[in-house]
Amino acid sequence: MSDADVPDGARRSSDAPESATAALVEAARESDLGLVVGTLLAIYAAATLLTFTDGLNSVVGLLETLTFLGLVYALTALALNLQWGYTGLFNIGVAGFMAVGVYTMGMVVRSPDPAFGPPGLGLPLPVGIVAGMATAGLLGAVAALPALRLKADYLAIVTLGLSEIVRLSLQSSTFDNFLRDTIGAGTGGGRGMGMPDNPVRDLFLVDGQAGTPTAFGDLVFGIFGTDGLGIAHPILIGWGYIAVLAGFLVGFYLLLERLGRSPFGRVMKAIREDELVADSLGKDVNLVKIKVFVIGCALMGLAGILWFGSQGNVSPTPQFRPLLTFYVFIAVIIGGSGSNTGSVLGGIVFAAVLFEGPRRVGATVRGLIDAQTPASFADAVASLDPVTFLAYATDNIAPLQFVFLGLVLVFIIHRRPDGILGDRIETAAAVDLSERPAGGDADE
Amino acid sequence: MSSDAPDPTDGGAPDAVSAADGPDAEPEANDSEVEEAAKHVPSGPPSGDPPLRVEGLVKRFGGVTAVDGASFEVESGSLTGLIGPNGAGKSTTFNCITGVHEPTAGSVYFEGEDITGLRPHRIARQGLVRTFQIARELAEMTVLENLMLAPQGQIGESAVRAVTPGLRGAVVAEETDLRERAWETLEFFEIDHLAHEHAGNLSGGQRKLLEMARALMTDPEMVLLDEPLAGVNPTLEEKLLDRIHELRADGYTFLLVEHDMDIIMENCEHVIVMHQGSVLAEGTGDEIRSDERVIEAYLGEDL
């Protein structure tokens, strides 16, 4: 609670021109970053325990997968938290905005004359990233403009609908052909499109070709790779990409913290609490909502690029179903909506414990069980043998995972509706409010 | 200060004399705070126009006519009361004035400018703010944050400027000033001990004080108070009225909707009576007391 730490709050209240770094260090100290790091270490420890018998590559590989998923979920959750946690805008079209981001990037960057797949515009990657963010942000504005004039629920319906329109459009070959004819870049329709070369990969390998490392690649592979510690090279490249993701996460976090701890953040919170009050106090509520939507959707577009752009190939249907949106919502809810640190934590916990964890644990458990998998649930129950039942359960972990997710969500909403860190007491001011500076009484 | 402004141009309106200034403030205790509050005193209307003029206001909801051609003026620096039985259209009139509802017909002028149908934030920016009948505190924000939200045109209210590193110093400097001003305003209303409390934890009366403090933080010319005393205990009630009188003496204009007849009669120099959506009578408390139409329509035999 913010009131509780008032006594030690004398810190930076009096020196008016606080340095940016001091403020950020302060923010980090106050915002439970230690909890995030601790959680990550606990997850690493559990993952190591789970796989250490399979050798170093399994351990490092699993850690890499978990970290990657944790970071991309954290990035997306942060973007959603701005809209939903801070401002109360119910955007359930996250998947659509991510798809628009990554597809725009692909279309802008892909070669105009590729060996296979749809043509692109052949522009540099940074241009593609900016274009992807801009398109996602623009689409956000388009979604928000009509919906903001209506009641809040309509925004949810509009965004969900829009997300599906995006997905189905990307899947349509007619739309693909139309784009190829008009702007000279296509989507690849249902088959999707290959993603441009990952610059991080180019950092390690010449031309992205396996086997010919760059000088930097040589150095890293020499220490950690097959010549050193013995870690497979793709895993090392994966960790290189994770470093980039971590950099973006820090950037997202600092940007959103600064935005939240400002007069703009106060207006966002006020809109969440009571729109009419904000309006009656002279705040242009609709304009702020549109801004929040554009910023949030552009960040979702960037998150989509960072996430799916590194996956080799994107295709609309398995990847950008509304399910993805709900996963991100679960991450925000677990972490606690309204808290940026909570969103980071929620993303990591969701990805590792709820999303990837059950599959890995299930697979490990299955490996330990010496039993035939029964053909159906009825057979599993009828066998009256716990081991057989467990074999069935661990073999069908993916569907069971949904049951598990549902239970966790019900539990959290029932027992801890604010999430892990969602106390919603985050300060919405650019200065310390915890105590009154000395000047107050002196001028009387 | 414009509380001693001469007669409005409107000939028929009876003079708003400060006949019954009822329970006025004890001077010594609040002197310094009054001075502090006075630092942010309204500049007064630029011209001779009355701060608020309502002309032939009509508001229909479907088949129901809530306001039916109400016309009145509020004088600069005055404390004007608006009364009427339930369903007389007082709150709807407030909502039409402040942009919550768009009037079906008629006009609202603020300091001579037509503000009819503008959205609430546009009206608030011109210096006309309101409080709500049922206090609408921003529950999950602290009292201090509630107040710091209110001032107009803050540098950091723009998303871009809030994150521009070069403007950081300006934002922090402004925030430091706002924080101090918010503290002073809280002291003036004697709720500074609640500064860090979540607004949702306040009592009903404290919320009313908070709302008024928040409204003042916008630097208004005129404040519309929608039943500020409803559900407030007698001690707090007196405190609230004291504050209103002090602020009025500083040049703020108030329009007060209130259910309690005695409070209006004792505190307002000018009283407007609404009945069935239009203005039935206006004048000083004494004139209203003796107005036969009012007695017939609203007051019954009590006065």
Q: pTM of the prediction? A: 0.85
How do residues B59-76 score in pLDDT, each as one tens digit? 999 889 999 999 999 999
Interchain contact, A440 vs B149, CB within 8 Å: no
3-state secondary structure chain A: CCCCCCHHHHCCCCCCCCCHHHHHHHHHHHCCHHHHHHHHHHHHHHHHHHHHHHCHHHHHHHHHHHHHHHHHHHHHHHHHHHHHHHCCCCCCCHHHHHHHHHHHHHHHHCCCCCCCCCCCCCCCHHHHHHHHHHHHHHHHHHHHHHHCCCCHHHHHHHHHHHHHHHHHHHHCHHHHHHHHHHCCCCCCHHHCEECCCCHHHHHHEHHHCCCCECHHHHHHHHHHCCCCCCCCHHHHHHHHHHHHHHHHHHHHHHHHHHHHCCHHHHHHHHHHHCHHHHHHCCCCHHHHHHHHHHHHHHHHHHHHHHHHCCCCEECHHHHCCHHHHHHHHHHHHHHCCCCHHHHHHHHHHHHHHHHHHHHHHHHHHHHHCCCCCCCCHHHHHHCCCHHHHHHHHHHCHHHHHHHHHHHHHHHHHHHCCCCCCCCCCCCCCCCCCCCCCCHHHHCC
Tokens standing for B226?
A: 């929608």
**Residue B21 pLDDT > 70:** no
Q: Which of A75-84, A237-246, B82-91, B195-204 has the lowest mean pLDDT?
A: B82-91
Quote the CA–CA distance of B129 and B123 in Å, as a whole number.
Answer: 7
Spatial distance between the Cα atoms of A425 and A1, rounded to a whole number of angstroms: 7
Residue for token pair 């339930």:
B86
Q: Are A373 and A391 in contact (CB under 8 A)?
A: yes
With CB atoms and an 8 Å threshold, state whether B145 touches A444.
Answer: no
- The shortest C-alpha distance from B169 to chain A (Å) reads 6
pLDDT in tens, A384-405: 888 888 888 888 888 888 888 8
Contact A430 B175 (CB under 8 A): yes
CA B250 vs. chain centroid, Å, equals 14
Q: How far is CA A426 from CA A412, B187, B234, in A?
A: 20, 24, 35
Mutate to test the interface with A, among B179, B202, B217 (most CBs of A within 10 A): B179
CATH of B27-138+220-299, one of 3.40.630.10, 3.30.70.260, 3.60.70.12, 3.40.50.300: 3.40.50.300
Contact A283 B149 (CB under 8 A): yes
Tally of CA atoms within 13 A in the half-sphere of B116 that contains its CB: 16
ipTM of predicted complex: 0.82
Distance from CA of B198 to the nearest CA of A (A): 9
Between A374 and A68, the higher pLDDT residue: A68
**Nearest CB to A266 within list B121, B139, B145:** B145
Q: Which pLDDT value is given to residue A208?
A: 57
Q: Looking at beta carbons, which residues of chain B come within 8 Å of A429?
A: 145, 148, 175, 179
Query: Do A192 and A314 form a contact (C-beta atoms < 8 A)?
Result: yes
Q: What three-state secondary structure class fits B245?
A: helix
When CB atoms are compared, the residue of A2, A258, A276 closest to B136 is: A276
Yes or no, beta carbons of B179 and A6 under 8 Å apart: no
What distance lies between CA A65 and its chain's CA centroid? 14
The reply to whether residue A283 touches residue B148, judged by beta carbons under 8 angstroms, is no
pLDDT digits (tens, 9 = 90+) for A46-80: 999 988 888 888 999 999 999 999 999 999 999 99
User: What pLDDT is stored for residue A123 in this prediction?
Assistant: 94
Q: Name the token pair of A247.
A: 């950099």
What pLDDT score was predicted for residue B43?
Answer: 61
Q: How would you write B158-169 as a 3-class SS string? A: CHHHHHCHHHHH
Q: What pLDDT does residue B12 have?
A: 38
Average pLDDT, chain A: 86
User: First CA to last CA across chain A, in angstroms?
Assistant: 32
Listed by start position, the domains of chain B span 27-138+220-299
CA distance B299 to B54: 24
State CA B60 to chain mean position distance: 24
Give the distance from residue A376's alpha carbon to the nearest chain B alpha carbon, in angstroms.
Answer: 50
pLDDT of res. A19: 63
DSSP label of B26: P
- Shortest alpha-carbon distance between residue B214 and chain A (Å): 8
Question: How far is Cα A205 from Cα A220, in angstroms, rounded to an integer?
Answer: 11
Residues of chain A positioned with their CB less than 8 A from the CB of B154 = 263
Query: pLDDT tens across B107-141, in order?
Result: 999 998 999 989 999 999 999 999 998 889 998 89
Residue contact B138–A427, C-beta within 8 A = no
Residues 6+ apart with CB under 8 A from B188: B30, B33, B34, B36, B37, B213, B243
- Chain A, chain B: beta-carbon pairs less than 8 Å apart: 145
Tokens for B164?
Answer: 């521009």
Measured in angstroms, the CA of B11 and the nearest CA of chain A are apart by 33
Which pLDDT score is estimated for B287?
87
Residues A177-192: pLDDT tens digits? 999 999 999 999 989 9
The two structure tokens encoding residue A314 = 């994107």
In degrees, rounded to 5, the angle at the alpha carbon of residue A95 between the alpha carbons of residues A90 and A98 is 110
Closest by Cβ to A279, choosing from B119, B139, B176: B119
Contact B163 A258 (CB under 8 A): yes
